Amino acid sequence: MKSPNIGQDLAELETPTLLIDLDLFESNIRQLYSFCNDNGKAWRPHSKANKSPEIARLLIDHGAIGITCAKLSEAELMVEHGIQSILLANQIVSPGKFATLAQLQRRAEVIAAIDNIAVVKAMGAAAISAKTTIPILIELDIGLKRVGIEPGEKTLALAKAVCGQDGLEFRGLMGYEGHVLNISPPADKQAACHQAMDLLIQSKALLEENGIEVEIVSAGGTGSYEISGLHEGITELQAGGGIFMDAMYRQALHVESLEQALTVLATVTSRSTDHVVLDAGFKTLSSYHHPPEVLDRDDLSFSYLSAEHGVFAINPGCDGPALGEQLRLLVGYSDSTTFLHDHFVAIRNGRVEKIWDISGRGLIR
Ligand SMILES: Cc1ncc(COP(=O)(O)O)c(C=O)c1O
């Protein structure tokens, strides 16, 4: 099978292939960075959707202060590739992971999010034995009811414990407002998002009243960055998937400021009177959270994905595409699609300009 090559024509690529439209992608990076910058926030894009050190480097070259990771193994990969500042925005609880995290501090700043006092002593001990210091953000539950300690007094007690623990350095707070993303109308979403941000800022104030400096307050995903990014006191935004944008962000979360840059190139491998089948099923694409859509055509509607078949209905009155025709599918949700692929093939003016490895795929520990 021929691998994609730099300079190759889009029409000559074997399918399925995950594509990035470079013009749109670069415009998204500029938009996310300048929004942060214009509003006095730092940009620490979440890398869970790209899992690619090459893209992480590119984002830092375009103004990001570092990146956010969801897994310790992803953070390790990023450190190996020279990324110097990482927020591990997820909880780890095992001694082996504490030891790895402590060792990583020798090569980069890897800030850990914690939400339970039970980890404080053991994490501190790991840092002491590695002769390093682990920087800490406390993660608050600001309404998502996933992870995070209760804002207010409980957060204060945890912050005091961190400050009192050798080997740990308290740096601030984080929260993810995932519960507000698909609230509508927009005024209700704005109100819910600001309410969530208030919980972070009120806890920051409480800590400061108690003499604890809060340097970082981190929040903000792609689905709400334009609201959380206006909230006073938030210092950095984690919006990351927005570099790709996808159909979910646009249609379900109503993000209008970014361009849909991520598609899968696929081929019609079978057709009947009322539907076509593409060579991209759920091992290539995903309909988790949001289904894929065919780019620039209105003759097809998503039907379902089986392992290696993507089935699209031909809309009434339409002829549909021919057998062997190549189509581009807008990705439904980038997070549930990119990790199925070995690399991003980045195109401009119909030709391959860059190929970026998704070397973090499979890193789930
Ligand atoms: C901790 C955290 N921060 C930020 C985000 C937002 O990520 P994105 O901007 O890629 O939607 C998420 C999404 O799940 C998250 O879990």
What is d(CA 59, CA 36) in angstroms, rounded to the nearest whole number?
13
- Whether 47 and 335 have beta carbons less than 8 Å apart is answered as no
Report residue 303's pLDDT band, with 50, 70 and 90 as the boundaries. Answer: very high
Secondary structure of residue 25 in the 3-state scheme: helix
CA torsion sign, 10 to 14 to 16 to 18? negative
Answer yes or no: is pLDDT of 3 > 90: no
- Span from the CA of 186 to the centroid of ligand 1 (angstroms): 20
Which residue(s) pair with 134 in the sheet?
A: 168
Answer yes or no: is pLDDT of 2 > 90: no
What is d(CA 133, CA 263) in angstroms, rounded to the nearest whole number?
42
Give the mean model confidence (pLDDT) for residues 100-108.
98
* DSSP run (H or E) holding 192: helix 186-209
What is d(CA 286, CA 154) in angstroms, rounded to the nearest whole number?
39
Q: What is the pLDDT of residue 1?
A: 76
Q: What is the pLDDT of residue 241?
A: 97
Which residue(s) pair with 139 in the sheet?
A: 174
Which of 139, 238, 335, when mutated, tests ligand 1's pocket best, judged by the most ligand atoms within 8 Å of its CB? Answer: 238
pLDDT in tens, 7-30: 999 999 999 999 999 999 999 999
Q: Which regions of the chain carry the CATH code 2.40.37.20? A: 10-18+258-357
pLDDT in tens, 249-295: 999 999 999 999 999 999 999 999 999 999 999 999 999 999 999 99
Q: What is the mean pLDDT of the chain?
A: 97
Atom of ligand 1 nearest to the CA of 90: 1
What is d(CA 182, CA 348) in angstroms, rounded to the nearest whole number?
32
- What residues have CB less than 8 Å from 193, skipping those under 6 apart? 177, 180, 224, 227, 228, 231
- Span from the CA of 338 to the centroid of ligand 1 (angstroms): 15
Q: Is 238 in the pocket of ligand 1 (CB under 6 A)?
A: yes
Q: In whole angstroms, how far apart are CA 224 and each of 69, 70, 113, 189, 230?
A: 19, 19, 21, 8, 10
What is d(CA 161, CA 155) in angstroms, rounded to the nearest whole number?
10
pLDDT in tens, 215-239: 999 999 999 999 999 999 999 999 9
Q: Is 332 in the pocket of ligand 1 (CB under 6 A)?
A: no
Which of 111, 137, 176, when mutated, tests ligand 1's pocket best, judged by the most ligand atoms within 8 Å of its CB? Answer: 176
pLDDT in tens, 52-82: 999 999 999 999 999 999 999 999 999 999 9
Give the mean model confidence (pLDDT) for residues 141-164.
98
What is the token pair recorded at 271? 């057709």
CATH superfamily of the domain spanning 10-18+258-357 = D-serine dehydratase-like domain (2.40.37.20)
Answer yes or no: is pLDDT of 199 > 80: yes
Q: Which regions of the chain carry the CATH code 3.20.20.10? A: 23-244
pTM of the model: 0.96
Atom of ligand 1 nearest to the CA of 334: 10
- Span from the CA of 60 to the centroid of ligand 1 (angstroms): 18
CATH architecture for segment(s) 23-244 = Alpha-Beta Barrel (3.20)
